[in-house]
Chains A and B, each alone.
Chain A
């Protein structure tokens, strides 16, 4: 069985995000880029299944400009067999899914894994759109995957418990925390081999996006807290009426 893990290139989760001068994008200067944490867990599970002899090939793909190759090479260093970069600036979920769909149509992947969301824009949309475009069976919120011959045993998180499903390939799984416990750390050997593993660049087929970012806004600053002595209930009423205008 052959698996594809879709990778999103995101700022390191400790980055202090600043809005760029255009007000629509983030300032990328000095940002360290990483594999989206959910995608990293998906990759870890794929590699575990390959180590267990359940998968023959682990492929990673992303939509991104050349600078995202470092992120793909990290995936190769961690153990992926080959990588595909679709050369375009990701515009929105539709555009990313449409381009990934083109690549997937040309290959026969048995399982496709997408992280449930990306840690930068939290869109949670690519997996669903991709399954739709490919007219493919899809399961979301997957927190466990086992392969037993041609059967895929899937665990899902549901309100107050877990749901166990069985399905067959091909399938697209939108995975979340729990799919793997700790992301795999690349070994020295893996890091050395990463440069010699295939990293294919494909030109984007579609630049069409369905949404456009109009403006990014910082969270509103929290209001200051006013402390009032316990015996001054009248003051609370006055403030609520005159300052907060809540009464």
Chain B
């Protein structure tokens, strides 16, 4: 056992922290309120290499390990999860999926610009009637010989409008059920694609979430990843890794709120002393600290397993379930510690609380994580 980070891992954490605390903090409240996409931040983070940090350097990525990714995701998410979700989807779903399962040609053509952050990717799995039940895909990819004809609607798509590259999950052989599903790399600007309006969300309001409609969109056959019918397996495998990113995001939301609560409790006075000196507050902070430490350890263990090429699906499900749940608890307590100030936007903790809620819902709800974990426990 060794709990020490390497010099590189510490440098990455510091780089992410510096960017978040110096740059993201400046306009995060305004972007949240007005639902402004963080165009410049995505560009700057791409230049620093964060958008493709997990990709092999031979495909223009940063070549960093998953532990570094957890550290970076935590730091960015302490300040702004609208930005960290863009980073997470691009890194752990889109880039990872193409790098792990794509052909050499697909990596050259699609992965490189995504790893450089010149293009951003989106992962199109959810549908109006297929969220957790991902097998019941209604979007169809009809086999037309040398191309697929794509029809259907996808919902809740992060980077839905700004993405240049879509990974679309669609049904080709309905009779084969989930074994008939394919995954296609689709150019966002292909004829027949309509992007719906920016969803007006509770939190992470500056990330652009849209529905995407496909109407007779032609996709070249060579854009299919893997064998015919590989799509469902692809989605499940990719989401296993994606969970680590969202778990680290939830961790960051919790630790961001915690840091603010600690600071506030040392400044705010009530009954003649700083509120940190009241046991009611001090004990809350102790509970929050333990939860965060647990979540961090679960995230890092899942990341470490992935880096060691060991099975990490259960560890990543545990990390996401726990981190998302404690993010909700910790942010709620952070608002409580701030009292009335916590309920107004200027103090950030109400925003972090809104952001926390989404981590229990997307990339596999907490209930889905419990299915994954309980099936393993009972097998």
Contact = CB atoms under 8 A, between A and B. Distances in A.
Interface of A: 70, 73-74, 77, 182-183, 185-189, 191-192, 194-195
A39 to B, nearest CB: 16
Secondary structure dominating the interface of A = helix
Interface in B6-53: 7-8, 10-12, 14-15, 18-19, 22, 47-50, 53
Interface stretch (B57-65, B290-298, B306-314): B57-65
A188 B62 contact: yes
Contact of B63 (A74, A185, A188): A188
A73 to B, nearest CB: 6
A242 B252 CA distance: 56
A195 B22 CA distance: 27
A189 B49 CA distance: 7
Given A73-B7, A191-B8, A192-B57, A186 B62 contact: no
A188 B48 contact: yes
Contact of B7 (A70, A182, A183, A187): A70
A53 B101 CA distance: 42
B7 A189 contact: no
B48 A187 contact: yes
Contacts of A191: 8, 11-12, 15, 64
Nearest to A189: B49
Interface in B338-372: none
B62 A77 contact: no
Interface of B: 7-8, 10-12, 14-15, 18-19, 22, 47-50, 53, 57, 61-64
Task: Pick the most buried of A77, A183, A191: most chain B CB atoms within 10 A of its CB.
Answer: A191
A98 B346 CA distance: 51
A192 B11 contact: no
B118 to A, nearest CB: 15
A187 B61 CA distance: 11
B275 to A, nearest CB: 20
A240 B292 CA distance: 52
Given A186-B48, A188-B49, A192-B8, 8 more contacts: A70-B10, A183-B18, A185-B19, A186-B11, A191-B8, A191-B15, A191-B64, A192-B64
A189 B62 contact: yes
Nearest to B57: A192
15 contacts: A73-B7, A74-B14, A182-B22, A185-B19, A185-B48, A187-B15, A187-B47, A188-B12, A188-B53, A191-B8, A191-B64, A192-B8, A192-B62, A192-B64, A195-B8
A219 to B, nearest CB: 19
A189 B57 CA distance: 9
B254 to A, nearest CB: 20
A172 B201 CA distance: 55
A96 B8 CA distance: 28
A70 B11 CA distance: 9
Nearest to B47: A187
Contacts of B63: 188, 192
A74 B49 contact: no
A186 B48 CA distance: 7
A242 B170 CA distance: 88
A73 B11 CA distance: 9
Contacts of A73: 7, 11
Task: Pick the most buried of A182, A183, A187, A188: most chain B CB atoms within 10 A of its CB.
Answer: A188
B208 to A, nearest CB: 25
Q: Which 6 A-B pairs have the closest CB atoms?
A: A188-B49, A188-B62, A187-B48, A187-B49, A185-B15, A191-B11
Contacts of B61: 188
B194 to A, nearest CB: 36
Nearest to B62: A188
A69 to B, nearest CB: 9
Contacts of A185: 15, 18-19, 48
B15 A186 contact: yes
Contacts of A187: 15, 47-49
Contacts of A188: 12, 48-50, 53, 61-64
